[in-house]
Amino acid sequence: MKKAILPILVLALTASISAGESSFMNEDLDSLISQYDKETLTAISNELVKLASEEEGMGEFDLASGHYSRAIKIREAIGMSEHKSFASIQYLASLAHSKAGNFCEASTHAKKASEAFRQHGITKFEQKANVEHKEYARACAVVAFR
């Protein structure tokens, strides 16, 4: 039953992202979070990350960014923001946002990824995310100045 529901829910979230209906999509996520258990929500989050990765491979960076953001929101809602995977998803979101030209969002996600990697003692990725956070912040400032 759960396996049949996952693709439907992910497709619904994808449709709302594609339509650019962020308030509708946030309501969908809030409803989703209130209706399903942690295990199902974790699986949905994992599917969103997988879908985002595939979209990045096709050059659909805006769609990928949206899916990473939804996966992050789900994980935050179910108390997984301290998990190692959360740091990785934050980092992946920063990369997708930067490729989409959303440098301010990329900077925010890279900073959160760096902090999360530090909490887990993953120094190599902490430093990499921190350097990218600074690069994206500079690009954000340039874009904002124009």
In the chain, what percentage of residues exceed pLDDT 70?
81
Range of the domain at 43: 23-145
* Inside any domain, residue 88: yes
Q: Select the more confidently predicted residue: 35 or 4.
A: 35
Q: How many domains does the chain have?
A: 1
What pLDDT was estimated at residue 126? Answer: 95
Specify if 65 maps to a domain. Answer: yes
pLDDT band of 72, cuts 50, 70, 90? very high
The overall average pLDDT reported for the chain is: 85
Q: Indicate which CATH number applies to the domain containing 32.
A: 1.25.40.10
Q: Is 44 exposed, middle or buried (0-12, 13-18, 19+ CB in 10 A)?
A: buried
Does the pLDDT at position 102 exceed 90? yes
Task: Please state the rounded mean pLDDT for residues 60-83.
Answer: 94
What is the spatial distance between Cα 55 and Cα 125, in angstroms, rounded to a whole number? 23
The predicted structure's pLDDT at residue 30: 76
Whether residue 3 lies inside any domain: the answer is no
Per-residue pLDDT band for 146 (boundaries 50, 70, 90) equals low
Is 32 among the domain residues?
yes
Q: 79 in helix, strand or coil?
A: coil
Q: How far apart are CA 60 and CA 62, in angstroms?
A: 6
pLDDT score recorded for residue 5 = 57
pLDDT at 17: 45
Query: For residue 92, is it within any domain?
Result: yes
Query: Domain for residue 10, yes or no?
Result: no
Q: Which residue has the higher pLDDT, 132 or 17?
A: 132
Confirm whether 110 is domain-assigned: yes
In a domain, 59, yes or no: yes
Q: What percent of the chain has a predicted confidence (pLDDT) above 90?
A: 68
- pLDDT (0 to 100) of residue 33: 79
- Report pLDDT digits (tens) over 12-66: 555 544 444 454 456 677 777 788 889 999 999 999 999 999 999 999 999 999 9
Alpha-carbon distance of 114 to 94, in angstroms, equals 11
